[in-house]
Amino acid sequence: MDHPRGHTEPGAEADGELESLVARVPIFSGLDHGQIREIAARVQPRIVPRNEQLYGAGDVNPYLRIIHTGTVKVYRITESGHEQVLRVLGAGDFLGEKALISPSVSDHFAVTLTEAEICSLEHAAIRDYLLRYPSVALTMLETLSARLGSTEEQVSAIAGEDAASRVATYLVGLAEELKRNSVALPITKKDVASFLGLTPETLSRRLAGFEDNGWIHQQGNRRIDILDLEALRLV
Amino acid sequence: MDHPRGHTEPGAEADGELESLVARVPIFSGLDHGQIREIAARVQPRIVPRNEQLYGAGDVNPYLRIIHTGTVKVYRITESGHEQVLRVLGAGDFLGEKALISPSVSDHFAVTLTEAEICSLEHAAIRDYLLRYPSVALTMLETLSARLGSTEEQVSAIAGEDAASRVATYLVGLAEELKRNSVALPITKKDVASFLGLTPETLSRRLAGFEDNGWIHQQGNRRIDILDLEALRLV
DNA sequence: GCATCGCCTTGACGCAGGTCAAGTCGTGGA
DNA sequence: TCCACGACTTGACCTGCGTCAAGGCGATGC
């Protein structure tokens, strides 16, 4: 089972494809081919339809999930009923790490926004890999640390910046990430508003204001052309 | 250097004390005595006076720091000048993990709130331990994951709850953590306000309101007696 | 022990953004 | 291709919280 094979070609066999899938996952980069094979053997890949809830508050969620294609929205609902979008995950990202060690009850929801290809790994298995292949743990640490950093930014933006500034910063970030001036929102405007700690009405008004200023141009509900990036940076 | 010693007694020699210090750090729990000794040899303990800045935005901060005694405030200052308190760390907590792998420039500030005993470990050393002792990485993952969870709570509270509710939840949390009805604020009210995404004026007004309702009693600037925990829970 | 600085409190006021409502439009599912 | 639901927009209103200001008090450092 765990003897290393000389060639690194994925080959044409059925799980060769699965192995190359695993090899492209950031947290497994740095593992050699034999280790990739071992993990691929324990992975359960699945095509998940759009709008399917992966887990919800109250669930005991025993899987670490890795997204190969598609996007997933992670949000939380407060005691008072407020829905807060926390982040949007895409190809290469993982979720479900919270209960990795102490399998606690989740207060998160995760829903697919598009059809998605997702691999599930049981927590016991992941824990085993983390102990045997420390580089996997190191990469996860780096990812979690980055995630903490952006959630901290979310806190200080919501607490300290006004609505226009938050919306502008979000658009600039999107444009920089995509390296394009015409961006497609990864989520609905309603969800963008929630992510930014705003109501949909306020987001709509600010975007309309930007459009009046000639800084952006909106097409349909999702596409925004950015006409003046510098003006947005200065908001 | 790395031969295991049979006895687990800290002994009376100078660095025996240092070893027992290291052994009490949560992320090093689970290591055996020989491993603890190895780490103790690389550790630089220091007594840091009150109000000393451990690192600031723009610093390249090459140390993971572990707090043995005392408390440390971590905050960030946004582009527009808003100061946001992110968390308060105490005995057993670590900080400086952000640049653990890619030594990026920090946008955080960390200041001691009391005199503190703090150990510094170079990132290269910690990285080495993480690769050799995966249980350390696992504990760090667990801690970071918990930290992410509470920062997410901070986001949804600031975005979704009104001022009174945030203040009440904060007091209830403090009382539960200390398991007492008379709590001492770990930070100034000004900092509590920042942590909760409020101005000091609003915090002061809400606390005065709670006192008018007979739910709390304030003594001096730091001590608050909680007279009606249930009422606070229902705010 | 005392002085001083900065924290805390209280008041008055204004406004950013939330709420409610109604109408339009886009989009995804059949 | 079409339909229907939900997302989005726009307007009017209003309130909670921030801002500015001034005074009292407490805690820190000498």
More confident site: B235 or B104: B235
Calculate mean pLDDT across residues B89-103: 85
Averaged pLDDT score across all residues of chain B: 89
What is residue A103's predicted lDDT score, i.e. its pLDDT? 67
Among chain B residues 111-170, those with CB within 7 Å of any atom of strand D: 162-164
What is residue B15's predicted lDDT score, i.e. its pLDDT? 61
Q: Which site among A155, A172, A199 would you substitute to test the B interface, given the most B Cβ atoms closer than 10 Å to its Cβ? A: A155
Q: What are the structure tokens assigned to B78, written together?
A: 């946004």
More confident site: B8 or A218: A218
Task: Tell me the C-alpha distance between A118 and A126, whole Å.
Answer: 15
More confident site: A114 or A59: A114
Decide if pLDDT at B165 tops 80: yes
Tell whether A214 is within 8 A of chain B (Cβ): no
Q: Which bases of chain C are contacted by protein, using any atom under 7 A from a CB?
A: 7-12, 16-21, 26-27, 29
Tell whether B165 is within 8 A of chain A (Cβ): yes
Decide if pLDDT at B8 tops 70: no
Task: Tell me the C-alpha distance between B79 and A157, whole Å.
Answer: 10
Tell whether B131 is within 8 A of chain A (Cβ): yes
Decide if pLDDT at B6 tops 50: no
Q: What are the structure tokens assigned to B207, written together?
A: 């606390």
Q: What is the tens place of the pLDDT at every residue in A78-112?
A: 988 899 999 999 999 999 988 776 667 778 999 99
What is residue A14's predicted lDDT score, i.e. its pLDDT? 56
Task: Tell me the C-alpha distance between A194 and B186, whole Å.
Answer: 31
Q: Which bases of chain D are contacted by protein, using any atom under 7 A from a CB?
A: 7-12, 16-21, 26-27, 29
Decide if pLDDT at B42 tops 60: yes
Q: Reduce the DSSP state of residue A24 to 3 states and report it.
A: coil
Q: What is the tens place of the pLDDT at every residue in B181-212?
A: 999 999 999 999 999 999 999 999 999 999 99
> How large is the greatest C-alpha to C-alpha distance in chain A, in angstroms?
65
Q: What is the CATH number of domain A160-234?
A: 1.10.10.10
What is residue B12's predicted lDDT score, i.e. its pLDDT? 36
Instruction: Among A8-12, B73-77, B173-177, name the one with the lowest average pLDDT.
Output: A8-12
For every residue of A76-98, which 3-state class applies, written as one string? EECCCCCEEEEEEECCCCEECCC
Calculate mean pLDDT across residues A47-66: 89
Q: What is the tens place of the pLDDT at every residue in A61-74?
A: 788 999 999 999 99
More confident site: B83 or A20: B83
Instruction: Among A147-156, B29-38, B171-180, name the one with the lowest average pLDDT.
Output: B29-38
Decide if pLDDT at B18 tops 90: no
Q: What is the CATH number of domain B161-234?
A: 1.10.10.10
What is residue B104's predicted lDDT score, i.e. its pLDDT? 72
Decide if pLDDT at A40 tops 60: yes
CA A150 to chain CA mean position, Å: 12
What is residue A205's predicted lDDT score, i.e. its pLDDT? 97
Calculate mean pLDDT across residues B72-97: 94
Instruction: Among A10-24, A219-233, B85-99, B215-229, name the one with the lowest average pLDDT.
Output: A10-24
Decide if pLDDT at A30 tops 60: yes
Q: How far separated are the first and last CA of chain A, in Å rounded? A: 59
A207 touches strand D (CB under 7 A): yes
What is residue A74's predicted lDDT score, i.e. its pLDDT? 96
Q: What pairs with residue A84 in β-bridges?
A: A76
Query: How close B12 gets to chain A, by Cα (Å)?
Result: 34
Q: What is the tens place of the pLDDT at every residue in A120-154?
A: 998 888 889 999 999 999 999 999 999 999 999 99
Residues of each domain in chain B carrying CATH 2.60.120.10: 14-150
Eight-class DSSP state of B140: H
What is residue B7's predicted lDDT score, i.e. its pLDDT? 38
Task: Tell me the C-alpha distance between A33 and B84, whole Å.
Answer: 45
What is residue A61's predicted lDDT score, i.e. its pLDDT? 78
DSSP result, chain A: --PPPS-----SSHHHHHHHHHHTSGGGTT--HHHHHHHHHH-EEEEEPTT-EEE-TT----EEEEEEES-EEEEEE-TTS-EEEEEEE-TT-EE--TTSSS-PPP-EEEEESS-EEEEEEEHHHHHHHHHH-HHHHHHHHHHHHHHHHHHHHHHHHHHHS-HHHHHHHHHHHHHHHHTSSEEE-SS-HHHHHHHTT--HHHHHHHHHHHHHTTSEEEETTTEEEES-HHHHHH-
Task: Tell me the C-alpha distance between A39 and A129, whole Å.
Answer: 8
Decide if pLDDT at B70 tops 70: yes
CATH superfamily of B14-150: Jelly Rolls (2.60.120.10)
Instruction: Among A4-13, A75-84, B38-47, B196-205, name the one with the lowest average pLDDT.
Output: A4-13
What is residue B14's predicted lDDT score, i.e. its pLDDT? 56
Instruction: Among A19-28, A36-45, B100-109, name the one with the lowest average pLDDT.
Output: B100-109
% pLDDT > 90, chain B? 69
Looking at the domain A14-147, which fold is it? Jelly Rolls (2.60.120)
Question: Over the range B28-62, which residues count as b (16 or more CB within 10 Å of their CB) and which as e?
Answer: beebebebbbbbbeebebeebeeeeebbeeebebe
What is residue B99's predicted lDDT score, i.e. its pLDDT? 74
Q: Where on the phi/psi map is residue B46: left (φ > 0), alpha (ψ -120 to 50), or beta?
A: beta
Q: Are A66 and A35 in contact (CB under 8 A)?
A: no
Helix B123-132 / helix A134-160 crossing angle, nearest 10 deg: 130
For A196, which residue in chain B has the nearest alpha carbon? B159
Q: In Å, what is the separation between the CA of B18 and the C1' of D11? A: 68
Q: What are the structure tokens assigned to B35, written together?
A: 């491993």
Decide if pLDDT at A12 tops 80: no
CA A117 to chain CA mean position, Å: 13
Residues of each domain in chain A carrying CATH 1.10.10.10: 160-234
Out of B132, B141, B152, whose CB is closest to A151?
B152
Decide if pLDDT at A115 tops 50: yes
Decide if pLDDT at B3 tops 90: no
Task: Tell me the C-alpha distance between A151 and A69, whole Å.
Answer: 23
Residues of each domain in chain B carrying CATH 1.10.10.10: 161-234
% pLDDT > 70, chain A? 92
